[in-house]
Amino acid sequence: MASLITVKDVLKVFRSGEKTIHALDQISFEVDEGSFVSIVGPSGCGKSTLLKIISGLLASNSGTIRVNNHQVDRPLENVGMVFQSPVLLKWRSVLGNIMLPVEFAKLDRDRHLETARSLIQLVGLQGFEEMYPFELSGGMQQRVSLCRSLVTDPQILLMDEPFGALDAMTRDELDLELLRIWEERKKTVLFVTHNIQEAVFLSDYVVVMSARPGRLLKKLRIDLVRPRTLEMLSSSQFGEYTLQIRGMLTSASKIPDAAIGSTT
Ligand SMILES: Nc1ncnc2c1ncn2[C@@H]1O[C@H](COP(=O)(O)OP(=O)(O)OP(=O)(O)O)[C@@H](O)[C@H]1O
Ligand SMILES: [Mg+2]
């Protein structure tokens, strides 16, 4: 498979007054077209920062991102983003929220209205099109946010802990839905989570990062058959992957944190 996203030697240092925060240290990995890759790592290791750099929303200090063989130096257009909180506009209906990217990009409304309706169907929100965010559960709001990220049919989905705030059962349900959409619509997904089980369950590869400064510990191939089922969560092969990742994170956390420096 061809590499769609190439992250090469990415380094990011934030400056905040007198302090410097070394967020990412020489991160390199590739994401093949059509694959599902998760990034796991402890809180503050730079996962969100990395996703923002890949999307072109934030510049790195050094290193490069290439998508479709073009260097990223501005916000990408063929990308859908989903964040931890659904960030819906409260004065817009479900359909109105899903159609936002279409309006921003001034795309054909009628054609995309059809896409929006088929996505609503796909995530089981039919009948809720005219409701407002406050009338929806957390899981339903996140489904709306998923539809919004897909309505312009982007090649890539960048997801930052999209289901982290949900209860375990709803998260399992949405994980399965996401896999179905990924398989059906042939997307490339880069998915951030700090839930090791979720990362293994969803992914072809799991990128494991150390605590700050975020370094790449391993890109681990997950050889579980597809389609994935919830029964796999209790298989020994699944357990071995999660143990392996937990082991990497535990040994890396024993290295003292030297990431916060001073500019003086
Ligand atoms: N705009 C910013 N200015 C200064 N420091 C920042 C900024 N954004 C992030 N940081 C710092 O960079 C580090 C990495 O932050 P980031 O949000 O990428 O971590 P994360 O891995 O996504 O954490 P979490 O799992 O808690 O979401 C943190 O120490 C944070 O304080
Ligand atoms: Mg984050």
Q: Which of 11, 13, 14, 263 to mutate to test the pocket of ligand 1 (most atoms within 8 A of CB)?
A: 14
The answer to the question of residue 249 being in a domain is yes
Instruction: Give CA–CA dist 89/16, Å, rounded.
Output: 31
Q: DSSP letter at 63?
A: E
Residues 222-231 have pLDDT tens digits of 999 999 999 9
Per-residue pLDDT at 93 exceeds 70: yes
The answer to the question of residue 213 being in a domain is yes
Straight-line distance from the first to the last Cα atom of the chain, in angstroms, rounded to the nearest whole number? 47
Number of domain units in the chain: 1
The answer to the question of residue 164 being in a domain is no
Q: In this predicted structure, what is the pLDDT of residue 1?
A: 67
CATH number for 25: 3.40.50
Lowest-pLDDT range of 18-32, 144-158, 181-195, 250-264: 250-264
Alpha helices in the chain (DSSP H): 47-55, 94-98, 100-104, 109-122, 138-150, 168-185, 196-202, 236-253
Q: Between vectors from CA 26 to CA 12 and to CA 55, what angle results, nearest 5°?
A: 55
The answer to the question of residue 198 being in a domain is no
pTM for the complete prediction? 0.92
Q: What is the mean pLDDT of residues 123-137?
A: 95
Instruction: Give CA–CA dist 226/182, Å, rounded.
Output: 12
User: Residue 212: helix, strand or coil by DSSP?
Assistant: coil
Lowest-pLDDT range of 51-65, 85-99, 156-170, 198-212: 156-170
Q: Which residues line ligand 1 (CB under 6 A)?
A: 14, 16, 21, 23, 41, 43-49, 194, 212
The answer to the question of residue 10 being in a domain is yes
The answer to the question of residue 176 being in a domain is no
The answer to the question of residue 248 being in a domain is yes
Residues 161-188 have pLDDT tens digits of 998 888 898 889 889 989 999 999 889 9
Domain span at residue 19?
1-74+205-264
The answer to the question of residue 131 being in a domain is no
